Amino acid sequence: ELKVEQNPLFLSMQEGKNYTIYCNYSTTSDRLYWYRQDPGKSLESLFVLLSNGAVKQEGRLMASLDTKARLSTLHITAAVHDLSATYFCAVYTGNQFYFGTGTSLTVIP
């Protein structure tokens, strides 16, 4: 059974601090996606990572992919309140996207 595991599940961090969210998956895949969900809202695409070693950055968020380790990271730099949301990673394999359980991030002043 394919597993996509995120950790931590809950993260409370102070403004201005750095932190990393991890996404481990149990199958071979070179396609990894990150999404953001605000409470009660739909999912918004953040990053699409399509090969080993891929790194993408947007503002205070940076995502990377290591397909050999089956690991993706989402690094948050100098967090601000606007980044509070739930972040999901997803892996594509076998004609389907499989989602992690999500990381609920709260940035506190």
Partner 1 sequence: DGGITQSPKYLFRKEGQNVTLSCEQNLNHDAMYWYRQDPGQGLRLIYYSQIVNDFQKGDIAEGYSVSREKKESFPLTVTSAQKNPTAFYLCASSFGTDYGYTFGSGTRLTVV
The residues that touch partner 1, with contacts defined as CB under 8 A, are 31, 33, 35, 41-45, 48, 50, 88, 90, 92, 95-102
Name the minimum Å distance from CB 78 to partner 1.
26
Sign of CA dihedral 86, 8, 20, 31: negative
Name the minimum Å distance from CB 41 to partner 1.
7
Choose between 1 and 82: whose C-beta lies nearer to partner 1. 1
CA nearest neighbour of 103 among 87, 92, 91 = 87
Choose between 19 and 99: whose C-beta lies nearer to partner 1. 99
Choose between 22 and 97: whose C-beta lies nearer to partner 1. 97
Rounded to whole angstroms, the Cα distance separating 28 from 104 reads 26
Name the minimum Å distance from CB 66 to partner 1.
18
For residue 58, CA distances in Å to 10, 45, 77 come to 22, 12, 11
